[in-house]
Amino acid sequence: MKATVTGGAGFIGSHVVDALLAAGADVVVLDDLSTGHEDNVDPRAELLVASITDGDMVAKAVDSSDLVVHLAASRAVLASVERPLETDRINVGGSLQVLDAARQAGVRRVVSASSSSVYGGADQLPTPETQPANPRSPYAVSKLTAEHYLRVFTELYGLETVSLRFFNVYGPRQRPDSRYAAVIPLFIRAISEDRSPEVHGDGQQSRDFTYIADVIAAVMRAATAPAEQCSGKVYNVAGGGRYTLLDLLDVLEDQIGNRPARRHVEPRAGDVRHSQADIAAARRDLGFDPTVGLADGLARTIEWARQGAPTPRGSS
């Protein structure tokens, strides 16, 4: 099998590449390296450095592929608030570019990363996929729009598609050295250096944190599940729990052994208050079942951060 991974030099994408190589696939990575890193990519994979908005390079990347795992995106909510047109160009236009190239190349299936942010702070917790979407940021709007494009390409062209709504993914290779870095690597770095972690708002906002190994398991199952069960559909992918940022800090401080004073700052624009997934549909149709709890996942992530080196290929 040949597989193409867009965004395959990034945090989630590089783990997907490792899993596909371990399964015996020939893998092509398409990544512009704007946030991904070449040293994340196993040298057995072919790396094409280009944007998903580059039609010629997208067509080259997906040529003869059986599977496309589409992860490339402008990911940060705050960045989308600041630059909505760029977010739309990459997340909507780029996704459409990938889908159309896959259709023309005869790709069997496209598995695409969506986001829990499409719910916009749902009233029902845990939240099933049937809950109406209410995106509250340009990023969330772009991810929901891409979901609709995947469904339409299944209905109109017969291209098998699966959208996965990821909930707050964390783990090894998630870096803190970005203005838009996720909260867990930022907290780990601050606490490890005995500096005050920065908490947006009161810290009582809650999230369903998902360890990277569980996300990769979901992607691999979405790539192989029978089309009659999953094609054209959307699934939540999450750890199945809900923790506040203050809960998260408590666990990290206990594991690292430092308790610096916390610094509260203004809430971030576009953030939702509470988020938790109902993963019953993914269990039923994909056979997905998360296995790594928060404490265990954080311990693994802290150990990776302490090593100061990339995770060995094929491990999570």
Tell me, yes or no, if 180 is annotated catalytic. no
- Distances, alpha carbon 166 to alpha carbons 17, 214, 250, 276, in Å: 17, 10, 24, 11
Nearest to 174 by CA among 46, 44, 304: 304
Concatenated DSSP letters for 145-184? HHHHHHHHHHHHH--EEEEEEE-SEE-TT--S-STT--HH
Q: Kindly give the pairing relationship between strand 243-244 and strand 206-207.
A: antiparallel
What is the three-class DSSP state of 114? strand
What is the three-class DSSP state of 104? helix
Nearest to 222 by CA among 210, 211, 233, 238: 233
Nearest to 14 by CA among 49, 32, 38, 50: 38
Taking the C-alpha atoms of residue 101 and residue 252, their distance in angstroms, rounded to an integer, is: 43
How many Cα atoms sit within 13 Å of 139 on the Cβ side? 22
Bridge partners of 169?
210
- Among 119, 139, 211, 235, the active-site one is 139
**What amino acid positions are annotated as catalytic residues?**
139
